[in-house]
Amino acid sequence: MSEDYRSMWQNLGLDLVAHDALLGVLGKFYQDIYLTQQNRPEGMGYFDFVMSEVHGLRIKELLDEKKAGRKIIGSYCVFVPEEIVLAGNATMVGLCAGADFAMEEVEKILPRNTCALIKSTFGFKLGKVCPYLEASDMIVGENTCDGKKKAYESLGPLVSNLYVMDIPQVKSGQGRALLKAEYQRFKQAVEKLTGVAIDAAHLKQAIETVNSKRQAIHRLSKLRQADPAPISGLDALLANQVFFYDNPLRFTDSVNKICDELEKRVAEKKGVSPARTPRILMSGCPMAVPNWKLPWIVETSGAVIVGEESCVGERGTRNLVNASGRTVDELMDAIVDRYFQVDCAIITPNPDRLNHVEEMVKAYKADGVIHYGLQFCQPYLMEAIPVAKALEDKKIPTLRIETDYSMEDVGQLKTRVEAFIEMLK
Ligand code: SF4
Ligand code: SF4
């Protein structure tokens, strides 16, 4: 890493020794999991580059944007609308973290039985290793699951710029009204932060930018319906993860380039694995960088992942915002309409999610579903039981996995996953 980056990290207040250790582990993990894959599309070279520079060049770009007067807004959830952020001349970055860090410190603030995603968020703050968090001018928390809701109360005193958004938990008229009111309040907060009054033209443009980003991912997903699958689940997951960090226009372009390449592969019936390799749909909790453990186990056990029913995946990217409105009010309503369809397990009851899992099984010709629940995640672990039952009733084999970010259970998980895949053959 260049000296420039080191001084940049130091100026952001990072702990350089701890940060070096994190980058060392991340680099090794990436090498072992990603770069050992066979038959990767050439376009993935872009994502390899992004990952090698995820704390370097991308952070420098964000700091350059800040110097030019733009604000950076960090978010932990796909309910936070990027359209409003972009329309206010700010940039949004994802802050969700996928690795254990500074756990001893974390467990002084949070109970041990908190999900790994929340603990990791605190570990990255307390260990001073996340440049995205430190570069953010506003950090948006959202009242979704109980764990996050209460954790934001403890995160507040650790940062100077936490903004908390309320999210409905029921899909009713009142639920929609709450989401609308909260998006209006968020719009005002963004305007206050940036000093920019959001008008219809900018909101429309922002909607189109985010729609294009989602459409590129939709195109990628559709190509994964082919047998043989033209891209590994690990690589597709990486694209879904980078969705939250990269410059939106460049991201859209890069995903579309991969799709051009994959279209040729599909036409020539070339895949990352032979035709009729068992096809898995992953469903459940989001997988933030560098949480690649389970997909790596699945894809080194003789199967290919063809879709993710997850917030880092299709739950997060499906449905576009209707950009045809002419006023700020009409466009804001269209934004509310789109986000109100997100079927996170915090919503009760949540039949939409079950329907979506079933639709995805059909569309991606999945042979089985692996439900991924993070230990101590009540919403997804509880929902996993009726979801698995409904799938089994329809003769769709389902494996429920409960795990965390540690590597301690790799052997045990591999045994279970291999047995499941063997059964699908
Ligand atoms: S799982 Fe729910 S709380 Fe988590 S990012 Fe998705 S919508 Fe937000
Ligand atoms: S994984 Fe579950 S418990 Fe953890 S933040 Fe997401 S919804 Fe909450």
What is the DSSP annotation of 128-153? T--HHHHH-SEEEEEE-SHHHHHHHH
Residues 326-339: pLDDT tens digits? 999 999 999 999 99
Q: Of 344, 374, 376, which is best to mutate to test ligand 1, by the most ligand atoms within 8 angstroms of its C-beta?
A: 344
CA of 81 to the centre of ligand 2 (A): 19
Listed residue (265, 179, 285, 171) closest to 225, CA to CA: 265
Which ligand does the CA of 309 lie closest to?
1
Pairwise CA distance, residues 294 & 401, whole Å? 9
Residue 225 CB neighbour total at 10 angstroms:
18
Which ligand does the CA of 152 lie closest to?
2
Predicted local distance difference test score (pLDDT) of residue 3: 66
Does residue 111 surpass a pLDDT of 80?
yes
CA-closest residue to ligand 1 atom 7: 344
Q: Which pair of tokens denotes residue 186?
A: 């968020």
Would you say the CB of residue 88 lies under 6 angstroms from ligand 1? no
Ligand 1 atom with least separation from CA of 145: 3
Determine the average pLDDT of the residues in 163-174: 98
Predicted local distance difference test score (pLDDT) of residue 1: 54
Which ligand does the CA of 372 lie closest to?
2
Contact 198, 233 (CB under 8 A): no
Q: Of 75, 145, 346, which is best to mutate to test ligand 2, by the most ligand atoms within 8 angstroms of its C-beta?
A: 145
CA-closest residue to ligand 1 atom 3: 144
Percentage of residues in the chain with pLDDT exceeding 90? 99
Residues 176-216: pLDDT tens digits? 999 999 999 999 999 999 999 999 999 999 999 999 999 99
Q: Phi/psi at 239 (nearest 5 deg)?
A: -60, -40
CA of 271 to the centre of ligand 2 (A): 34
Pairwise CA distance, residues 210 & 193, whole Å? 21
Element containing residue 163 per DSSP (H, E): strand 162-166
Pairwise CA distance, residues 422 & 416, whole Å? 10
Predicted local distance difference test score (pLDDT) of residue 415: 98
Contact 136, 111 (CB under 8 A): no
Would you say the CB of residue 124 lies under 6 angstroms from ligand 1? no
Ligand 1 atom with least separation from CA of 286: 1
Does residue 129 surpass a pLDDT of 70?
yes
Q: Of 100, 375, 380, 404, which is best to mutate to test ligand 2, by the most ligand atoms within 8 angstroms of its C-beta?
A: 380
Q: Which pair of tokens denotes residue 289?
A: 């960088």
Taking all residues of the chain, what is their mean pLDDT, rounded to a whole number?
A: 97
CA of 77 to the centre of ligand 1 (A): 5
Residues 285-336: pLDDT tens digits? 999 999 999 999 999 999 999 999 999 999 999 999 999 999 999 999 999 9
Question: Using alpha carbons only, what angle is made at residue 287 by residues 169 and 80, rounded to the nearest 5 degrees?
Answer: 40
Q: Of 106, 285, 376, 405, which is best to mutate to test ligand 2, by the most ligand atoms within 8 angstroms of its C-beta?
A: 285
Would you say the CB of residue 79 lies under 6 angstroms from ligand 1? yes
CA of 381 to the centre of ligand 2 (A): 10
* Bond preceding residue 349 cis, omega within 30 of 0: yes
* Backbone CA torsion sign across 220, 221, 226, 229: positive
Predicted local distance difference test score (pLDDT) of residue 22: 94
Predicted local distance difference test score (pLDDT) of residue 280: 98
Pairwise CA distance, residues 48 & 53, whole Å? 9
Q: Of 144, 146, 282, which is best to mutate to test ligand 1, by the most ligand atoms within 8 angstroms of its C-beta?
A: 144
Contact 121, 152 (CB under 8 A): no
Would you say the CB of residue 77 lies under 6 angstroms from ligand 1? yes
Does residue 11 surpass a pLDDT of 70?
yes
What's the pTM value of the predicted model, to 2 decimals? Answer: 0.97
Pairwise CA distance, residues 391 & 152, whole Å? 35
Helix (H, G, I), strand (E, B) or coil at 166: strand
Listed residue (124, 190, 129) closest to 161, CA to CA: 190
Predicted local distance difference test score (pLDDT) of residue 2: 65
Residues 359-412: pLDDT tens digits? 999 999 999 999 999 999 999 999 999 999 999 999 999 999 999 999 999 999
Predicted local distance difference test score (pLDDT) of residue 259: 98
**Strand 90-94 vs strand 71-75: parallel, antiparallel, or unpaired?**
parallel
Question: Using alpha carbons only, what angle is made at residue 165 by residues 200 and 284, rounded to the nearest 5 degrees?
Answer: 105
End-to-end, the C-alpha distance of the chain in Å comes to 46
Which ligand does the CA of 314 lie closest to?
1
Pairwise CA distance, residues 63 & 68, whole Å? 9
CA-closest residue to ligand 1 atom 4: 77
Contact 91, 85 (CB under 8 A): yes
Residues enclosing ligand 2, CB less than 6 A?
115, 117-118, 145, 147-148, 285, 374, 377, 379-380
Predicted local distance difference test score (pLDDT) of residue 96: 85
